Structure 1
Amino acid sequence: MISDVLSRLNALCIVLGSSSPRRQQLLAQIGLKYTVVKSNFPEDLAKNQFEKPVEYVRATARNKLEDVRKQVDESYESCRLIIGADTVVVLDGRIMEKPASADEAKRMLKSFSGRAHQVISSCVLLYKTKANVQWNCEQFETVTDVNFATLSDSIIEAYVATGDSFDKAGGYGAQGIAGSFIEAIHGDFYNVVGLPLQPLSARLRDIVITHF
């Protein structure tokens, strides 16, 4: 979706507002060149203040990128485009965070076993056409349904023992060995990895064509 405007995008001195290695790999996969600026937002919004998980992830993504924007304004004057995102895993309306322990990771995976859950990402794009002008904002959400096979206790134990669970929402990574747990995905696969590439690319293309 961006192959015909890739050089124009890369001329914008892009900042990725995320330290996630998966998001970095996905942007590199589609040919984008970027500088990483990590958000210092604590991601401590009270979930009970939000009626739906999508509202929570939307607010978190926006707060994360607002922190990055302040850093960009101070140190990256040539930047014209900031990309940020937040992703949550949801089961029965409940947000499943990154597990804090092996036991918590096992409980999460067992709760997914033989069932469907959702992965929701909110992407935020900030862009400006000239220096010292106000940032424009676009934000959108992508929801993907993920069906897990039935997992035995021994499979869960062995996976958690690899250590792969602990830096991932929901306690698994679809791009690794846990991909073998997935029976079906309905929606954007890359959303489950960390960034919905097709809708993200489509919006980036529209921005560069319309504004640059």
Structure 2
Amino acid sequence: MLVLASNSASRRAMLEAAGLTIEAAGAEIDERALEAEMANAEPSEVAQALAAAKASAVSMLRPEKLVLGGDSLVVVDGRRFDKPGSREEAAQHLRFFSGKVMHLYSAAALARDGRIAWLGEDSAALHVRGLSETFIEQYLAAEWPEVGATVGVFRIEAIGVQLFERIYGDHFTILGMPLLQVLDALRDEGELLP
């Protein structure tokens, strides 16, 4: 059984749909402090560090178990965005994203006994269409508070797909994890059949 160092419903659903048995155990790390320490790092490096920190922290509490950590970051016009803390902040994010390219970085890490066994990442470019105030209000009326748990204020598997006019990148990466890379790593670790 794989331990998922996250309470993310989309990551869990992805892994279960791929045939994996998952035990979820949210990681207790200070993500904002780690991001602050890495303020000058590339977004992909920050996402990988966060995924590794989550996997490592949970694996220390689950001896001998293989633990999967994941993280996603959104960057628009050079500015990194965290999950919105309120519906108003979500609206502010959407106004900023309107008509711009959202760069999404998703990373994953596998750890056992506190040591990282594998680290991977992928990115996607999502072109946000011009969003009207009316759309933003109706969208948040339908999707809040669920999208409050997402860095890009969207669930691509729901009506969040309406935010975009073009998307370049892997569907699983956009959902929050470079799943095909994770599956390869699990095969390398002997957790899946070759």
Asked if structure 1 preserves the Cα contact closer than 8 Å seen for 2:60 and 2:114, the reply is: no
Query: Which stretch shifts more, 202-211 or 30-39?
Result: 202-211
Establish whether residue 34 from structure 1 lines up as the match of residue 22 from structure 2: yes
Over the aligned positions, Cα root-mean-square deviation in angstroms equals: 2.3
Corresponding residue for residue 130 of structure 1: none
After superposition, what is the alpha-carbon deviation per residue over 1:122-169, rounded to whole angstroms, capped at 9, x for unaligned? 110125xxxxx8855110111111112211110011111231331111
Looking at structure 1, the residues matched to 193 and 134 of structure 2 have their Cα atoms a distance apart, in angstroms, of 54
TM-score in terms of structure 2 length? 0.88
Asked if structure 2 preserves the Cα contact closer than 8 Å seen for 1:37 and 1:68, the reply is: yes
Q: How many residues align?
A: 190
* Deviation for aligned residue 1:121: 1.0
TM-score in terms of structure 1 length? 0.81
**Cα distance 1:136–1:157, how it changes in 2: closer, same or farther (>3 A)?**
closer
Corresponding residue for residue 76 of structure 2: 91
Looking at structure 2, the residues matched to 48 and 85 of structure 1 have their Cα atoms a distance apart, in angstroms, of 17
1:188-203 matches, cutoff 5 A:
188-203=170-185
Looking at structure 2, the residues matched to 24 and 43 of structure 1 have their Cα atoms a distance apart, in angstroms, of 20
Corresponding residue for residue 130 of structure 2: 150
After superposition, what is the alpha-carbon deviation per residue over 1:26-82, rounded to whole angstroms, capped at 9, x for unaligned? 001101012112111121221663332222222211111121011112xxx5x2x22
Of the three residues 52, 56, 74, the one matched with 1:66 is: 56
Asked if structure 2 preserves the Cα contact closer than 8 Å seen for 1:52 and 1:93, the reply is: no
Q: Secondary structure at the match of 2:62?
A: helix
Of the three residues 3, 28, 39, the one matched with 1:49 is: 39
Looking at structure 2, the residues matched to 146 and 47 of structure 1 have their Cα atoms a distance apart, in angstroms, of 27
Q: Secondary structure at the match of 2:152?
A: helix
Looking at structure 1, the residues matched to 158 and 51 of structure 2 have their Cα atoms a distance apart, in angstroms, of 25
Corresponding residue for residue 82 of structure 1: 67
Looking at structure 1, the residues matched to 96 and 114 of structure 2 have their Cα atoms a distance apart, in angstroms, of 45
Corresponding residue for residue 5 of structure 1: none
Looking at structure 2, the residues matched to 61 and 134 of structure 1 have their Cα atoms a distance apart, in angstroms, of 13
Corresponding residue for residue 176 of structure 1: 158
Q: Secondary structure at the match of 1:169?
A: coil
Asked if structure 2 preserves the Cα contact closer than 8 Å seen for 1:53 and 1:93, the reply is: no
Computing the radius of gyration over CA atoms, which structure comes out larger, 1 or 2? 1
| Code of the aligned partner of 2:156 | A
